[in-house]
Amino acid sequence: MRRERTIELIDTQSGGDVSRIVIAGIEPVPGATALEKARFLQREGDGLRRLLLSEPYGDPAMSVDLIVEPGHPEAQAGYIIMEAMGYPMYSGSNTICTATALLESGTIAMTDGVQSVVLESPAGLARITADCADGRVESVTTRGEPAFVADRDLVVDAPGIGPVRFDLVWSGAYYAMVRAADHGFAVAADEQIALAAFGDAFVRAARPGLRHEHPSLGDVGPLPFVHFMGEIRAMAGGGLESPSATYVHPGVICRSPTGTGTSARLALMAADGDLAPGGTLETISPRGSRFLGTLTGPAEVGGLPAWDSTTTGTARLLARSHVTVDLDDPLVDASDLEALLRE
């Protein structure tokens, strides 16, 4: 008997970053919350992540978002974020893509005009405002968990680079915030290979000495991301803009400026007194895509001063597909996958 299973996907992109939304074909994941479900997959069901982010089914530069039952009564759906580096607690671009896919597929009913959506990520509730017209989501504004500056003026000696000074900021994951100009970068398109090489060398050197703990989420794993901060410029119509690039894993600089990277930058600027509530920053990726970050006000995380902010972006649907998984294919690692796939 052939052991084949089918997974239903909606492929999306926001700012150029591709997110694969898994909307059907997976058995219920154990756990009362999105966080518990994510940690179960990390321990006992990592085959799904590996399958959809590896050849021949996918590419490690993509992300996967698995739709799950939420644990919080306010949430309309839960989602678990999977990337090559593991299981991020929150992601702005993935949230924008997930909300767009759920609305445009009819999984969450869409109405024209401004619509509120609440999703449950492993980090907590993502409160979303979607601007919808003629059956399309024109833009998504999402507010995730508060961001806070965890450590200032850290220095790591990275092989082949030398001393790198950075700040450590939490914004759904820990980010090493590096001032690009200190290392000769303008954060331009032709620097992406060099930025990725720098990020890889830096992360390998920095990880052993950095914290893994979040005040309320516990162990969130080793440092996943580096955010290269370009020059801040005033925009003609008001507000600020800055070239920005996020290193996510070996060889990959995000095509978008990233929502969590933008949120981390806003928190750092607020802590430095460079941005007040209501202030905005448009981050610009090396490929020219933009996210709009808005600082909304002060908050607190585990007794630490923190900042709430929103990220606004647009996602577009790329494909709707039913993927066949042949569990007898030698290229499919079925060891911790078969139990997750619905017959």
Which of 91, 121, 263, 285 does the annotation list as catalytic? Answer: 91
Under 8 Å between Cβ of 87 and 123: no
DSSP 132-164: EETTEEEEEEEE-SPBEEEEEEEEEEETTTEEE
Q: Which secondary-structure segment (H or E) carries 293?
A: strand 290-301
Which residues on neighbouring strands pair with residue 116, listed in sequence order?
Answer: 129
Q: How many CA atoms lie within 13 A of 51 on its CB side?
A: 26
Under 8 Å between Cβ of 12 and 19: yes
Question: How far are the Cα atoms of 15, 46, 257 from residue 253, in angstroms, in the given order?
Answer: 12, 24, 9
Q: Is 105 a catalytic residue?
A: no
- Name the nearest CA neighbour of 227 among 321, 137, 308, 293: 293
**Count of all residues that appear for the chain in the document:** 343
Measured CA to CA, the distance from residue 302 to residue 82 in angstroms comes to 26
Q: In 3-state terms, what secondary structure has residue 10?
A: strand
Question: How far are the Cα atoms of 2, 164, 171 from residue 226, in angstroms, in the given order?
Answer: 44, 12, 12
Residue type, 277: P
Under 8 Å between Cβ of 123 and 216: no
Burial grade of 275 (CB within 10 A; 0-12, 13-18, 19 or more): buried
Burial grade of 184 (CB within 10 A; 0-12, 13-18, 19 or more): exposed
Residue type, 21: I
Residue 43 is classified by DSSP as H
Report, as residue numbers or ranges, the catalytic residues: 91
